[in-house]
């Protein structure tokens, strides 16, 4: 989606850094300190269309590093946009708590940081929240924000799949209807196996998130056991 919209994405360290790999060419830079720290200087260096095609990104556990550049963006009239990937945990380095989870690292309850109020306090007026697995809604939201003439923040909020221990119904690919476009393989799900015929979903690994079904253009990925 990011490549289809021809976005330049400045990322930080986290699970989403995997999108810089060759298999998921969706992130252009990875700098510790949140995407806006690099997105804002690029916007200043190359104004014009680049300003609106430039997007910074970070996770909920590193968002604090991007507050200063986000304030700078608003204060200096920047137009680029930001995305926060809120999976409710610090997933990349061990599932430890962070200020957004409502718990301290020792498990004690504490006040949870509100990302919405935080970015609003920086002066951002356009704040959107979306489930990133709702692919169509996310794409429409990105298009709307790219057309806006002010900075915006999209909070992509969905708990990490490793946090939800309840077993949902797995999905499977209807082999006889599959057109072998292999688009499902591009999401990098470890449960989807490449074969000489149609891709195959390993039910034992499938967590039932439904992302593969959402991006299948032919509707051949369905819920249940094959």
Judge contact between 32 and 10, C-beta under 8 A.
no
Predicted pLDDT of residue 213: 94
Contacts of residue 178, Cβ cutoff 8 Å, sequence gap at least 6? 198, 199, 218, 220
CA 93 to chain CA centroid, Å, is 17
Per-residue pLDDT of the chain (226 residues; tens, 9 = 90+): 777 777 777 777 777 777 767 667 777 777 765 565 566 666 666 655 555 556 667 777 777 777 887 888 888 888 777 778 888 888 878 888 989 999 999 999 999 999 999 999 999 999 999 999 898 999 999 999 888 888 899 999 998 887 776 668 899 999 999 999 999 998 889 899 999 989 999 999 998 989 999 999 999 999 987 7
What local confidence, expressed as pLDDT, does residue 110 receive? 96
Q: Beta strands 81-86 and 54-59: pairing type?
A: parallel
**Is this model's pTM higher than 0.95 or not?**
no
| pLDDT score for 95 | 86
Q: What is residue 168's DSSP assignment?
A: P
Give pLDDT, residue 176: 92
**Residue-level pLDDT at 42:** 64
Q: What pLDDT, on the 0 to 100 scale, is given for residue 33?
A: 59
């Amino acid at each position: 989606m990011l490549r289809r919209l021809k976005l330049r994405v400045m990322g930080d360290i986290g699970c989403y850094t995997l999108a810089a790999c060759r298999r998921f060419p969706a992130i252009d830079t990875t700098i510790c300190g949140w995407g806006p720290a690099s997105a804002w200087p690029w916007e200043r260096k190359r104004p014009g269309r680049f300003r609106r095609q430039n997007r910074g990104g970070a996770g909920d556990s590193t968002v604090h590093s991007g507050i200063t550049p986000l304030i700078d963006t608003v204060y200096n009239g920047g137009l680029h946009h930001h995305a926060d990937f809120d999976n409710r945990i610090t997933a990349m380095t061990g599932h430890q708590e962070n200020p957004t989870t409502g718990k301290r690292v020792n498990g004690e309850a504490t006040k949870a940081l509100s990302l919405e109020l935080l970015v609003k306090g920086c002066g951002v007026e356009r704040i959107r929240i979306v489930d990133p697995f709702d692919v169509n809604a996310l794409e429409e939201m990105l298009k709307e924000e790219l057309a806006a003439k002010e900075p915006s923040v999209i909070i992509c909020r969905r708990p990490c799949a490793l946090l939800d221990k309840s077993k949902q119904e797995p999905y499977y690919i209807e082999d006889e209807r599959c057109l072998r476009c292999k688009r499902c393989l591009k999401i990098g799900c470890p449960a989807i196996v490449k074969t000489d015929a149609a891709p195959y979903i390993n039910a034992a690994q499938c967590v039932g998130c439904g992302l593969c079904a959402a991006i299948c253009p032919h509707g051949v990925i369905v819920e249940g056991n094959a």
